[in-house]
Structure 1
Amino acid sequence: MKRTFQSIIYIAFVGISFWALIKAITTYQNPFSLYENPLVWILIVALALVVLVKEYFNHTVQKIAEEFKMEKEGIVPEEVDEWAWAKKLVRRFTRTRAIEEEHTIELDHNYDGIKELDNVLPPWWVYLFYVTIVFGVIYLIRFHVAGGDTQEMEYEKSMAKARMEIEKYKAATPNAFDVEKVELLTDASDVNRGKAVFRLNCASCHAPDGGGGIGPNLTDEYWILGGGFKNVFNTIYNGGRDGKGMVAWKSTLKPQDIQKVASYVISLEGSTPAKPKKPQGEVWEEE
């Protein structure tokens, strides 16, 4: 009666816990987040501990019962090989022969007294070979008969899907800043904003009037990475040459501010700085 009651309690606990766990997984947005839902992990740990304790108890009781049975039959428990089942399983999957039985598979010839055994292929190897044949047939049908997608085709489809999602996002958010379609600003308020940002972040290298210092002169017609609004914007946004030159400002400044700074830099061309630096780069002409 006591064992029956314990079994009922165990089955009820496992069933209710499993139901609660499924309910939590389907209800919570991040059910396995330890910080958001610690009770889920507490339930998982408790359920696992109860099952392990129950199985350990059953194993212990079964072992004691087997020892009593062996004692009644006159068998000494210490002499029983507990790993006999594992050894039997290994022999079954390897088909190995004991040393005493090797004479049954000896071949007739020998090499300077060294005899050769006629061992069969291990079953595990044979089964694995059969699996590769089945896989090869499925692969052949999937990709060469049914015309399945190759890795290159899957990549192209993923990229096309990503481009569609980007365009969909742009259409849904018309006010989003598009770096590819950025244009020169000529409004006085935008240029003045660009001037303020320039003097705060760029004047230390290019001088407040753009005449140059550590960085090149921004008022002449010579450019290291190309002139024009698009080139200036890209240089500020992505940085200059690798290992030298200006750092990328895209992680520091907003794209809108970079657009205004680039517009201000373009407005400096042809101005007269106090101490202009010697020209660097090449003369750039708009195509």
Structure 2
Amino acid sequence: MKKYFQSTVYVIFVIVTFLALAKSFMVYENPFNIYENPLVWIALIGFVLVVVLKEMVNVIAINKAKELQNEKDGVVPEAENLWLKKLLQSWTKSKDIDSEEEIILDHNYDGIRELDNTLPPWWVYMFYASIVFAVVYLVRFEVLDGDNQIVEYEKEVAQARMEINKYKSTATDLITAENVTLLTEEKDLKRGKAVFNLNCASCHIADGGGSIGPNLTDEFWILGGGIKNVFTTISNGGRDGKGMIAWNKTLKGDDIAKVASYVISLQGTTPANPKAPQGEKWVEKEN
């Protein structure tokens, strides 16, 4: 009875999980995206594990039944893992205990005697391979003057910079300090305020009056005012060793532009407890 119950539960689980996965594949646009649909991966892994474990249990049960039947019939099975023993023998060239008398050396030390075993083939092959590698390495870097690690690193960095510059020149949605513009639409400033309250208000106060960080409502700026300077300060952080951290690893360029625009919009407002001015008075240059 218990066996039939387990089989029934297994069949129901397989059917239900399979149908759920099939439905998710048809409904979700990117069903295999682990960040968007982690439940799909959990269900898929669980499904595979259950099926594999079930088959393993079946194989173990069949082998156990064969062993019991062989024991009942008086059949002596062949040694297990015979192929593995042969493989180890071919890769070590070791002698069986019964054959050790053939390779035992004459001398002994206080009754301790040595065996004249041959070197394992895997060790010999690796030794020869190291010689070949050493010759190739010597010719490549000493005779032909190949690039060392420093030169290779510099080339990789230069190539990466070229690819980054190429991407920046073609990416229309990439916001940097060079192309950022002041945003004035209500939805952009609303988003900027939300990001500001979440990440910046702890140091600048929600109304921008300043606490640990400087006052953002006056005309004085430590690292320069204007949308480009404010964007750069938020993105790259404040002065070395003190000041604000860099947010370019946390916030997207689009959000940094909106926060910078919201900070600019705080100019001229009246905070509850404004901090004394810091830095120099900023005057926007006319283009």
TM-score normalised over the length of structure 2: 0.49
Larger Cα Rg: Structure 1 or Structure 2?
1
